[in-house]
Every structure is written in structure tokens, then in C-alpha cells.
Amino acid sequence: MKSKLKLLLNSVAVFAALLAMWQGIIWAFAVPSYMLPSPWVVAKTFAMRLPDLWASTMISAEAAVGGLLASIVVGVLIALVFARSRWIRTMFYPYTILLQTVPIVAIAPLILMWVGQGILSVGVVAFIICLAPIIANTTQGLVSVDENLVQLFLMHNASQGQILRKLRLPHSLPYLFVGVRISSGIAVIGAITGELFAGSGQVGRGGIGYSILYAQTQVQTDYLFALVIAATVLGFTLFFAVMFFEWLALHHWHESAAESRADG
């Protein structure tokens, strides 16, 4: 307990040092505010424009969460198909890697063209960027079941449906959560990237990505900083929400979840 408090204090000290350095640079080199606003100005802007920030963050959150949820549903379905046959798996697996390696900024304009302006295409960008980790991890979980357990089920004349429901799916749940955790971080990146291209459906009502573009053209550097903070907070929140659901689902039986409970 004591050491944990110490660790926390250390983190706070690092944060304070960074702020001091930031302010120090501004004073030492007389950096103009439109290049680098001081921490104090950023904090003030953040507080004053909280309603705008909140509105933008909620729009981005909607797209990120929507894309993430869709990627879980579709990703699990694809993983189920992959797990059914090695043949299909080897045939299509390279394309899921392709999904992961193709630069999302390069295909975002295409998606915008096909899906149209607005939150739907932003969600689609988030969905695409989230899909690969879900497919890869869930497939891994579905096929890594102990062969003896499959034989045990067969001994008792279990149907393929029973093996799936009572064995493969619960076994793959921890793997699925690993995938969702990875995807939760990049879902926000996907949403903001999407908004840079497609978030300007209604002027003044765009998400974080759109607001970044807007603040840039207006040279509102302090507001840009505030948006970066908002995006980071959104990413963290999503990540910890996933961690919470993971704990809820697994802490009874799974070692990793049980350990993190013992730590916290």
C-alpha cells in the first residue's frame, strides 16, 4: 500500500516536472502563444470550452464505440468461420493481416466516397481498424482448446453445437477480451482519422477530428491542445471500460483477471 502511494507520487512528480519544463521553454525562448500556449492557458481554454469539448468528444465516442461493437460482432462471426476449417483459415488469414497493415488514412477517403459524409463513415473507419485484432485473437482462442476436452465432450455424445457453446466459446472469451482491449485503444484513433475526412457533415457539430481541423485553420493552438487531452481521456476511458467488463466476465475463473483483482 505504502509503495503504491509512492509510485503514484512519483508519477505526479514526473507530470509536474513536464509542466515546469513546458513553461520553462516558453519563458526561455519567448515562444509565441500561437506556437505553444502555456499549460495555464491550455487549462483555462479546456475549462472555458468544456461544453464544446464534451459535445465533440461524445460524437467521436459514438463513432468509436459503435465501430468497436460492430467489429466485435463481425470479428467473432469471422473467427467462428475461420475456426471451423483450417482450409478457410489459411486461405483468408493473409487478408486479415492486410486489413491491419493498410494505412487507414489511405482508405478513409474511399470509405467516405462509398458510405457518404457523416458519422456512419466515421464509424466504418473505426470498425475496419478494430477488426483484425478481434479476428486474430478470437480465432486463436477457438482453436486452442485442449484436445482432451474435445474428446471428453465426444465421449458423452455432445453435438458440434454443444462443443461450441459449452467449450469453444467460453474458452475463447479471455482471448476475445485481449483483442477488444487492443481494439479499444485504436478505435478512438480510427474515429478521429475518419473525422478528419468525413466529420464535417454539420458545421460546428463535428467530433474531435473535425474540431482539430477547424482549430488548426483558426490557429487556436490552445484549443488544439485541449482537443488532444480530450482524445486521450476518451481513449483511456474506453480502455478502462473494456478492462472493467473483462474483470466482470472473467474474475471468477481466469488467472489473469483474478490476478489483476489481487493487485488492485
Partner 1 sequence: MTTVPEVLFKGVSKRFAANAAPVLDGIDMSIERGEFVSIVGPSGCGKSTLLKLVAGLSACTSGEIAVNGMQPKNAREMVSFVFQDATLLPWRTVERNVALALELEGRTRDETAAAVAKLLELVGLAEVGKSYPRQLSGGMKMRVSIARALATRPRVLLMDEPFAALDEMTRDRMNEELLRLRGEQNWTVLFVTHSVAEAVFLSSRVVVLAPHPGRVAHEVVVDLPYPRTGETRESEAFDALVNKTSKLLREAYRG
The residues of the shown chain that bind partner 1, judged by CB under 8 A, are 146, 148-149, 151-158, 162, 166-167, 170-171, 173, 252-255, 258
- Torsion over CA of 59, 199, 213 and 104, rounded to 10 degrees? 100
Q: Which is nearer to partner 1, 33 or 162 (CB)?
A: 162
Q: Which is nearer to partner 1, 37 or 141 (CB)?
A: 141
Q: Which is nearer to partner 1, 67 or 174 (CB)?
A: 174
Q: Which is nearer to partner 1, 138 or 200 (CB)?
A: 138
Q: Which is nearer to partner 1, 3 or 157 (CB)?
A: 157
Minimum distance, C-beta of residue 145 to partner 1, in the bound complex (Å): 10
Minimum distance, C-beta of residue 18 to partner 1, in the bound complex (Å): 42
Do the Cβ atoms of 199 and 209 come closer than 8 Å?
yes
Minimum distance, C-beta of residue 164 to partner 1, in the bound complex (Å): 13
Minimum distance, C-beta of residue 248 to partner 1, in the bound complex (Å): 13
Minimum distance, C-beta of residue 146 to partner 1, in the bound complex (Å): 6
Q: Cα 80–183–97 angle (5° rounding)? A: 60
